[in-house]
Amino acid sequence: MQKILQRRVQPTKKYQPQTLSLPAGGLVIYPTRRASHAAPICLTAGSCSTVAPLPAPPSTAGAHFSHNPSSGSTKSAYTDTATVTAPCSARKFHSFHTQPAAVLLSSSRVLFSSSSSPSVGTPTPVANIASQRSAQLARHFSSSHSPSHNTNAQASAMASPYSVRKVAAPNTLEHRVYFEKDGVPVSPFHDIPLYANPERTILNMIVEIPRWTNAKLEISKDELLNPIKQDVKKGKLRFVRNCFPHKGYLWNYGAFPQTWEDPNSVHQETKAKGDNDPLDVCEIGELVGYTGQIKQVKVLGVMALLDEGETDWKVIVVDVKDPLAAKLNDVEDVERHLPGLLRATNEWFRIYKIPDGKPENQFAFTGECKNKEYAMDVIHECAEAWEKLITGKTQPGGISTTNLTVAHSPSRVTPDQLPPLPPNENLAPEPIDSSIDKWFFISGAAS
């Protein structure tokens, strides 16, 4: 429900009470008169933007903040609009010169009321601010209110308009993680764009499995809106085993949206069909992610696992916010700055099914990790395969292609055509059997 946040200041001949309408999250800062500009400043996790100029209040001392549950239009003659993406809890924040105040709450759009503008709800173009202080504030604010070790991991998602809805407790058959954009349900498989910038050099990755965890979580291909769920085999939840010296997954493991490894197509070099899944991704940055996180990543290379006769590509990437990201640009950089990681990755994929009684997995290219150029070619191929799938040129074969954003898709629907999602529960994980923590010692694993 849209919430109206009213900001009242002492009226003067020049400055009248202002109203900020925040339907869903963002950070708004009003400069004082001593600021060099009169435009409000919107800060999100990784960027700073201005909106159309607006008279700044003379002081925020004693300013009063209150919530109004109504969603009607403001009394002002017009409203400017700026997009903001920062799902966080509400709080006041003082910075910028001496007294400007800001409030951060759960919203996706901020409506600035003043004396002349387009109609309410019309987006206003935003422009970057070359302000180191603004950027510092954005980084600080986006990372200062998250729990313990997930502080920076949570912050990276604040630059995104997406949020998750968790149903039932983790480690249960009923557990699901749904995705929403500005409060509207979307499919992580089909509605989240593959590319995060116009140059297509940064990609969106959906984290399914955080590093060092064992639950085998994945995007559900056959369920409506493709939530993340735990894989099940013979009625039991699947966990990967700990193959000494490894614990769970070695990386933040997930998938690229809007990609598909086509099981109807044999790759000319691997000589095997696709595995019928979104393209798998291993993010090698230093921060542990969380299920449902959308990371912006750089592609570094790719391995071709041959899993039970199918090509199962594993794309190696790094979070663009990682301290080493500037130094990691291709596969040889991984070996230079993270020696042993590619070898450990190869070993892990080769042996991880052995404790469950299966043989070693094999690799194409004798296990070599192909370079960035090759990896980008694989990504383009899988994006084209998804395009054929979502437009109906390829039969889905049980895959749910329901989406809300792909204009040329016959499976596109509107929000009112979807059944309501279950309520968000955010429950604590159910206990798992202690056997999941057992270490398995594999003969020849280090070879």
Strands 294-307 and 203-209: antiparallel
Q: Which residues of the chain have pLDDT under 70?
A: 1-159, 445-447
Q: What is the pLDDT of residue 16?
A: 36
- What are the backbone angles phi and psi of residue 365, rounded to the nearest 5°? 60, 30
Question: Which of 40, 12, 13 lies closest to 101, judged by CA?
Answer: 40
Question: Which of 284, 207, 287 lies closest to 251, judged by CA?
Answer: 284
**DSSP state at residue 412:** B
**DSSP state at residue 423:** P
- Rounded Cα distance, 230 and 228, in Å: 7
- What are the backbone angles phi and psi of residue 323, rounded to the nearest 5°? -55, -30
238, 231 in Cβ contact below 8 A? Answer: yes
Dihedral in degrees, nearest 10, Cα atoms 229, 235, 240, 243 = 180
Give the type of residue at 30. Y
**DSSP string for residues in 14-30:** S---EEEE-SS-EEEE-
Q: What is the pLDDT of residue 152?
A: 43
Dihedral in degrees, nearest 10, Cα atoms 195, 196, 200, 205 = -50
- What are the backbone angles phi and psi of residue 80, rounded to the nearest 5°? -90, 155
Q: What is the pLDDT of residue 345?
A: 97
Burial of residue 287, with CB atoms counted within 10 A of its CB: 0-12 exposed, 13-18 middle, 19 or more buried: buried
* Residue bearing tokens 């395009």: 387
**DSSP state at residue 266:** B
- Rounded Cα distance, 388 and 231, in Å: 26
Q: What is the pLDDT of residue 12?
A: 36
Lookup: tokens for 121: 């709800």
Lookup: tokens for 417: 């055509």
- Rounded Cα distance, 257 and 278, in Å: 7
**DSSP state at residue 215:** B
Report the run of H or E that residue 349 belongs to, with start and end.
Answer: helix 341-351
- List, in order of start, the domains of the chain with CATH numbers: 4-143 (no CATH), 161-440 (3.90.80.10)
Q: What is the pLDDT of residue 446?
A: 56
Specify the 3-state DSSP secondary structure of 161.
coil
Strands 310-319 and 273-274: parallel
- Rounded Cα distance, 133 and 215, in Å: 41
Q: What is the pLDDT of residue 308?
A: 85
- Rounded Cα distance, 114 and 99, in Å: 21
Lookup: tokens for 5: 């946040």
